[in-house]
Chain A
Amino acid sequence: MKRLTIDPITRLEGHGRIEIFLDDAGKVANAYLQIPELRGFEKFCEGRPVEELPRIVPRICGVCPGAHHMASSKAVDAVYHVDPPSTAKKLRELFYAAHMVHSHTAHFFALAAPDFVVGPDAPVSERNILGLIAKVGLEAGKEVIKHRAYAQEIQALIGGKATHPVCGLPGGMSKAITEEERKDIEAKAKSMVEFARFSLKVFDDVVLANKAYVDLILSDTYTIKTYYMGLVDANGKVNFYDGQIRVIDPSGAEVAKFPPANYLEFVAEHVEPWTYLKFPFLKKIGWKGLVDGKGSGVYSVAPLARLNVADGMATPLAQEAYERFFATLGGKPVHATLANHWARLVELLYAAERVLELSRDPEITNPKVRTIPTATPDEGIGVVEAPRGTLFHHYQTDERGMVKKVNLIVGTGNNNAAMCMSVKKAAQGVIKDGKATPGLLNMVEMAFRAYDPCMSCATHSLPGRMPLEVVIRSPGGEEVERLSQYLEE
């Protein structure tokens, strides 16, 4: 069997690897996506005061610190059996909606759009954010930078620090916001709503107006039919911060709706020898391997999954965008992996509208943001929708609140099986006769990039970028060809 390796993956933090195994006829026999974890983290947490965890977990990852901080803060509330005041919950949600704006903006403009705006088979040297700016214009680039900064400033204002927030305490928040700060957030939020609409327009103009791209999105190569999971509010609308977990089957029928604290009744994890990252699956359906369909317990999370499981969006402009999304793509559920990019922008609009709504909430400047915990700590579960999918934090402590056990299931982990399947399917679609070119390989990478995976590696060592290397091996395992995009340097 020939072996073809894409290693490490470009454009993702940390180091990942795609292994593609070819058969003797040069067709893709199997493909695996390997995602390394920051090892020893759960052990690292043991023996520490549980209220420290919301400040430690954001270090896991440079991409989703806000999501970890929120899930952790909620888990610590649960450990201490304390319910934060209403204003504290709203401030957390406001912080978190700003985090979503930041993350979704970065993903779309830096990672996703270059594939479409510049072209999926353009040279790597152009298929990046600078190439994107060259194509759509400097003004658009400035808007991206400006609104990313706005979202960061709102997070810093509420969270204490933009990148590594410190605001969540057991029972609430460390500080309230002033009227002056509220006004500042409101002004930025108005601008962010317009920016989100502009982003959807970029998607319209660049992707939807180009039949070849729409065909690509809807093609079988980028389709897998799995179960979907996501948080919904009391009205069944998408919610990032709180709610119940709803699961639908590949035909769109609800098969489960449960409070996050019951997740262990519904989710189990399968282990494969070739990767550290586990494969969560639906316990009641069972693990049937890396296959899709109703008989397999594989599920997907992240933007497309969230839109699929929800009855709509809780804000008016996002609701319009949501309706258009499903009307254009043929109704619910949508199984086109690349539609995640569009779904992400629908969520960007919702997040921006939600920041604006919360900034105008009469309660938002109420100084009461903390309920002091009095119960004996023991165990708690906190769940949020991270930009890249449902995020579970589960802590157990002794009666002094010292951590005994930590279990995390991250968004990228939830999508592990679905991503492996998408990569295999895309590889089968675009690699023929054992021939791989950088453009073709990017088409394979597009399959998992749509999920916005996070390699959960928070190191930032220089040089700060990953080369892409492709090794083609003969059936005997000898290297016959090596393709590289950067090795000449």
Chain B
Amino acid sequence: MYGKTLVLGLGNPIVGDDAVGLHVAREVRRLLGDRPDIEVQECCCAGVALLDTVTGYDTLVVVDAVRSGHPRGSVLRLDPQDLPKQPTVTDMHGIGLIGALELGRRVGLDMPSKVRIVAIAVDGDYEASESLSDEVGKAVPEAAEQVLEELRCTLSP
């Protein structure tokens, strides 16, 4: 079966830098060309809604904005363990990526066994806008390259 690896760009297209994951996903799609074994999706959703998207894949590479305190536009490669531990799966909406995966596993859905995260640091207010800041916009090619590197690592035997 094809499509066992999913590159998932997360973000909101009308909230400025929050959309960076979507931009990176588009760049990854362009660089990858036609790859039957890898799917690239853009998603403006969160929480349990992510379950609908990630079920059935072996490998998941998530691209998202992160509020980590790093300088705006920094690109980080993270393991799910790097995110704060998730004792607090508290909200169907704001359940968080790791919480959604954990919930999916507990109720027996087919969750990805390998999960990697490429995060781009953002800051600032939530303001309606369709454009990225200069710093975050400049980080898009690097982040896309990191996703490809992630794919090379996870997909090589």
Chain A residues packing against B (C-beta within 8 Å): 10-14, 36, 38-41, 43-44, 56, 59, 62-63, 106-107, 109-111, 114, 124-125, 127-130, 133, 138, 141-142, 145, 148-149, 152, 162-164, 457-466, 485-486, 489
Contact = CB atoms under 8 A, between A and B. Distances in A.
A463 B84 contact: yes
A462 B127 contact: no
Contacts of A130: 89, 99, 102-103, 106
B119 A38 contact: no
B44 A489 contact: no
A106 B48 contact: yes
10 contacts: A39-B125, A41-B128, A110-B91, A127-B90, A142-B108, A149-B52, A458-B44, A459-B11, A460-B10, A486-B88
Given A162-B52, A462-B65, 10 more contacts: A62-B12, A145-B109, A162-B49, A458-B44, A461-B65, A462-B97, A464-B96, A465-B95, A465-B99, A486-B84
Contact of B88 (A109, A128, A138, A462): A128
Contacts of A465: 84, 86, 88, 90-91, 94-96, 99
B44 A163 contact: yes
| The 4 A-B residue pairs with the shortest CB-CB distance in the complex, in nearest-first order | A464-B96, A106-B92, A125-B87, A110-B92
Contacts of B64: 460-462
Interface string B105-143: 011110000000101001001111100000000000000
B88 A125 contact: yes
Dominant secondary structure of chain A at its interface with chain B: loop
B73 interface: no
Contacts of A38: 15, 126-128
Contacts of A36: 126
B45 A107 contact: no
A461 B66 contact: yes
Q: How large is the interface on B (under 10, 10 to 19, 20 to 34, 35 or more residues)?
A: 35 or more
A9 B51 CA distance: 24
Contacts of B126: 14, 36, 38-39, 457, 459
A145 B14 CA distance: 29
A40 B128 contact: yes
Contacts of A129: 89-92, 95, 103
B47 interface: yes
A288 to B, nearest CB: 32
Contacts of B95: 110, 129, 464-465
Dominant secondary structure of chain B at its interface with chain A: loop
B13 A59 contact: yes
Interface in B1-49: 10-15, 18, 44-49
B14 A56 contact: yes
Given A39-B125, A40-B128, A12 B67 contact: no
A462 B92 contact: no
A59 to B, nearest CB: 5
B20 to A, nearest CB: 10
A489 B85 contact: yes
Highest count of chain B CB atoms <10 Å: which of A43, A110, A125, A461? A461
Contacts of B14: 41, 44, 56, 59, 458
Contact of B48 (A41, A128, A148): A148
Contact of A460 (B45, B68, B102): B45
B90 A110 contact: yes
A444 B106 CA distance: 30
Contacts of A461: 18, 64-67, 122
B97 A141 contact: no
B77 interface: no
B61 to A, nearest CB: 14
Contacts of B66: 461-463
A138 B107 contact: yes
Contacts of B109: 145
B83 interface: yes
A460 B91 contact: no
B65 A43 contact: no
A458 B93 contact: no
Contacts of B83: 462-464
Nearest to A487: B84
A138 B83 CA distance: 26
B90 A111 contact: yes
B13 to A, nearest CB: 7
Nearest to B97: A464
A12 B91 contact: yes
A124 B87 contact: yes
A39 B86 CA distance: 30
A162 B47 CA distance: 14
Highest count of chain A CB atoms <10 Å: which of B11, B88, B99, B102? B88
A458 B15 contact: yes
Contacts of A145: 48, 51, 103, 107, 109
Nearest to B49: A163
A304 B1 CA distance: 49
A111 B45 contact: no
Given A462-B64, A462-B67, A465-B84, A39 B127 contact: yes
A141 B92 CA distance: 12
Nearest to B91: A11
Nearest to A43: B128
Contacts of B87: 124-125, 128, 486
A36 B92 CA distance: 21
Contact of A11 (B51, B94, B125): B94
Nearest to A465: B96
A387 B143 CA distance: 38
Contacts of B90: 10-11, 110-111, 114, 124, 127-129, 465
B46 A141 contact: no
